[in-house]
Amino acid sequence: MLLHYAPGSPHSAAVRIVLGEKGLEPELHKLDLVGYEQHSPAYLAINPHGMVPVFEDDGRKVFESSLILEYLDDKWPDPPLAGTDPRQRYRARKWGKYVETHIAPHLAIARWAALHGKVPETAVAGLSNLLPARCELWLSARHGFGHEQLTASTQAIFAACKRLAADLADGEWLCGDSFTLGDIAVYPHAAQFGALGLPVPRAVDEWLARVAARPSVQAIRGDLFPLAVMGPEPGRWG
């Protein structure tokens, strides 16, 4: 087992939290996102999308972080984290997908603006190594996002906060009465909202504190800082 990951990547943090919950200790390959190591030819040979994390198991590569979480739970079901009944599992999968299409891409844009992200000259040439859609996204970041895009991204995060608060109205955890992959997929992203000056509803704040108290989260809390890097493409295309 080998995990390619990076500090400052919420997607990497989610995978590390699950590994911690399950007591798994794969070999770790730490990438330096500040130095744009994820765009190096060596890493693009591992993942042509130039994104972390990637989990390798028995010589097979597993990527897409919320799907890595499910893979880990399918293969090492103890303790079970996918949810205890079909409804909980539906909600956990719904959140796993929502993070990718509606939270992470917009958080990345808001973060890029708040942290005054810049692509250093030394990293510009590497962008052409990326697949077309990925390269396009980074070029947009390099030119800076316009006011309209920033407003849309901030609104998307407010909308996400409202949905989180609505699902938390039923109990302590996002998908029902137990801690699941849904909580883990969302947490590392939502934990950055406050640091970027985005207001967070009280129910969400209290939930963040509950998740943060778990030993698996404490163990990787040094990785949770915001970093100016791009996320996935905003959903949905077109």
Q: What are the φ/ψ torsions at residue 112 (nearest 5 degrees)? A: -60, -40
* Contact residues for 145 (Cβ-Cβ < 8 A; gap 6+): 109, 112, 113, 153
Q: How far apart are alpha carbons 75 and 9 in whole angstroms?
A: 24
Residues 18-77, interacting with other proteins (CB under 8 A)? 57-58, 60, 62-64, 67-68, 70-71, 74-75
Residue 175 buriedness (CB in 10 A; 0-12 / 13-18 / 19+): buried
Q: Minimum distance between the CB of residue 122 and other proteins, rounded to whole angstroms?
A: 28
Min. distance of Cβ 233 from other proteins in angstroms?
7
Please identify which residue in 125, 213, 215, 237 interacts with other proteins, judged by CB under 8 A: 237
Instruction: Select from 18, 156, 160, 164 the one that contacts other proteins (CB under 8 A).
Output: 156
CB 82 within 8 A of CB 184: no
> Which one of 120, 132, 197, 215 is in contact with other proteins (CB under 8 A)?
132
Among 29, 30, 97, 142, binds other proteins (CB under 8 A): 97
Peptide bond into 111 cis (omega under 30): no
Q: Does 135 bind other proteins (CB under 8 A)?
A: no
Point out which residues bind other proteins (CB under 8 A).
Answer: 57-58, 60, 62-64, 67-68, 70-71, 74-75, 86-87, 89-90, 93-94, 97, 100-101, 132-133, 152, 155-156, 159, 233-238
